[in-house]
Amino acid sequence: MPEFALLCFSRGRSDLGRWNEKQVLPFHKIYFDSNLAIKEGWPRVSAAFKRTLFLAKTFETPVILLDVVESELEAHWVRQYRESLDAVADLQKLHEQIGLTVAPGLPELKEVRTAYRKAIDGLVSEHGFVRVRSQLRPTMQLFQMAIWEAKPFQKKGRNFQDAVICLAGIDDLAKDPTHTGAFLSRDSVFEQESLDALSRPTKVRLLLFPDLNQLSEVLKNELGERLRTSWDVDQKQAAKAIEENIEIVTAYLAKNLEIPANLGFGGEILSIEGIEHIRVLAVRTPAPWDRDSGKPFILTAELEVSLRAIVKSGILPMLIFQPPQVVRVGAESSPVQNPVLSSKQISAEPTEQLVSRTVQVEISATETDGRYTNLEPLSIGLK
C-alpha cells in the first residue's frame, strides 16, 4: 500500500500517472467539500455522485461528511431559501398594487431548517455517509496562514472555508496511520506543491484530481474486467435505447433547451428554427448491480445537438451594458444594441446556419433484462 494520501480532487493540476489497472486502491477514505456537493445538486445526490458512492461502498470505503462541510452546505441552502422568500415578498407587493392578495401560507424559517436537517439525515442514512466532527486548527495558525497568504489562502485572506475544510480532512485522516484518503473539490485554489506543504507535517500526502469522474475511474479499475465489461455493455444498451427513442429527447430539448444568443465574433443568434440532429456522445448509468430490475432510475446522457439557427453576422456588441441574451428552439432573441458601437456596427443579412452545442441530460429509465424502457428526460444543462 502506498504512503498516506489524501487525494484532493479539484480543477487544479493532478497526479494520476502513478496508478494503473494493476495497482491496488490508493485510498481508504473519501472526503468532499461543499462546492462539489453543490455542483452535484445537494441536498439531492446526482447520478454521477451516486455512482461514486456505490463504488466506494463496494470497497467498504467510507465517504466522510465533515461537520464543517455540512454547516456550509446548510448555510448555502438557507441563503437560497431566503432569496426565494424575498422574491415571493416582491411578488406579493406587485399583487397588492392591483388589488390582489396572496395568502402567505409559507412555513417559518425555523420549521424549514428542521425539515432540511431531516432531509439530510435521510440522505446520510440512504447513502451511508459517515459524519465526522472536525477538530479545527487554532485561530492563530489560520490567522498566520491568511496574512502570509499561504495557499489555499489568497490576497486579503480569501478562501477561508477552503482552508478550514482541507485542513479538517488532513487532521481527521492523520488520526489513523493505517488510512489513506480522497478529497473531492471543485476549487482551483489548490496546487500540488501547496497541498504537499500543508500535509507534510502530519505525514499525509495530498494528491490533486480534476473531477468526480476521475475518482470513479480509479474505483472502477479495481472492480475487475468482468464487472467493468458488464457496466460498459449496460451503458451501450442505454445509449442504444436513447438513439431508438430520440424523438422523446428531441421533444424535451425543443421545449427546454436554452443557449446564449451571443456567438462572439461569429455573430448573434436571432432565432432557432429547430433541431437538425442529435448525436449521443456518452451515457453514464448507475452500476447495473446496484439497481432493482424493472424499477426506474436516473442516467446521464451527453449529447451533441445541431440547431438550425438564423444568425446575424458582424461585429457584436460587448455585453457590458446589459445581461447576455438566451434563445430557445422556435423562439427569437432580442438583438443587442451597444451604445458605443451602434453607429459603426457592421452587419449583413441574417443567414441560416447550423449551431452545435454539447448538453448533458438526466433521464429517468427502467431496465429489465438489458432492455431500456420508459425513458423520460428530467433536466438539461450545457456542457
Strand 258-260 relative to strand 326-328, pairing: antiparallel
What is the pLDDT of the chain when averaged over all its residues? 78
User: Does 49 lie in the same domain as 169?
Assistant: yes
pLDDT digits (tens, 9 = 90+) for 320-346: 444 557 787 766 655 544 444 444 444
Q: Specify the pTM.
A: 0.54
User: Does 249 lie in the same domain as 213?
Assistant: no
User: Does 154 lie in the same domain as 235?
Assistant: no
User: Does 200 lie in the same domain as 135?
Assistant: yes
User: Does 215 lie in the same domain as 95?
Assistant: yes
Kindly state whether residue 194 falls inside one of the protein's structural domains: yes
231: number of Cβ within 10 Å: 19
**pLDDT at position 361:** 95
Cα 297 from Cα 289, distance rounded (Å): 12
**pLDDT at position 134:** 83
Cα 271 from Cα 25, distance rounded (Å): 51
User: Does 157 lie in the same domain as 19?
Assistant: yes
- 3-state SS of 152-173? CCCHHHCCHHHHHHHHHHHHHH
Which DSSP string corresponds to 111-126? HHHHHHHHHHHHHHHH
- The kind and range of the H/E element at 52 are helix 47-58
Domain boundary (188, 204, 220) is at: 220
**pLDDT at position 102:** 65
Give the residue numbers spanning the domain of 131: 6-220
**pLDDT at position 194:** 72
User: Does 301 lie in the same domain as 230?
Assistant: yes
User: Does 339 lie in the same domain as 261?
Assistant: yes
User: Does 350 lie in the same domain as 271?
Assistant: yes
Count of structural domains, the chain: 2
**pLDDT at position 234:** 93
Spans in the chain with pLDDT lower than 50 = 1-23, 147-148, 157, 316-322, 336-346
pLDDT digits (tens, 9 = 90+) for 125-156: 999 999 999 877 665 666 555 544 555 555 55
Kindly state whether residue 214 falls inside one of the protein's structural domains: yes
User: Does 230 lie in the same domain as 120?
Assistant: no
User: Does 140 lie in the same domain as 101?
Assistant: yes
Kindly state whether residue 72 falls inside one of the protein's structural domains: yes
Cα 10 from Cα 208, distance rounded (Å): 6
Among residues 286, 212, 259, the alpha carbon closest in space to that of 381 is found at 259
Strand order in the sheet with 371-382: 268-284, 296-312, 351-368, 371-382
Domain boundary (220, 249, 266) is at: 220
Kindly state whether residue 1 falls inside one of the protein's structural domains: no
Q: Look at the block and give the residue holding cell 470513479.
A: 216
Alpha helices in 264-318 (DSSP H): none
| Burial 257-290, CB ≥16 within 10 A → b, else e | bebbbbbeeebbbbbbeebeebebeebbbbbbee
Residues 361/281, Cβ–Cβ less than 8 Å: no
Strand order in the sheet with 6-9: 130-132, 63-66, 29-32, 181-184, 6-9, 206-209
Locate 5 and state its grid cell.
494520501
Kindly state whether residue 111 falls inside one of the protein's structural domains: yes
Q: Look at the block and give the residue holding cell 473531477.
A: 211
User: Does 206 lie in the same domain as 233?
Assistant: no
Cα 151 from Cα 154, distance rounded (Å): 6
**pLDDT at position 377:** 96
**pLDDT at position 103:** 64
**pLDDT at position 17:** 37
| CA neighbours closer than 13 Å in the CB half-sphere of residue 229 | 3
| Burial 38-67, CB ≥16 within 10 A → b, else e | bebebeebbbbbbbbbbbbebeebbbbbbe
- The kind and range of the H/E element at 83 are helix 67-97
Cα 92 from Cα 140, distance rounded (Å): 48
Domain boundary (199, 220, 241) is at: 220
Strand 351-368 relative to strand 296-312, pairing: antiparallel
Cα 241 from Cα 245, distance rounded (Å): 6
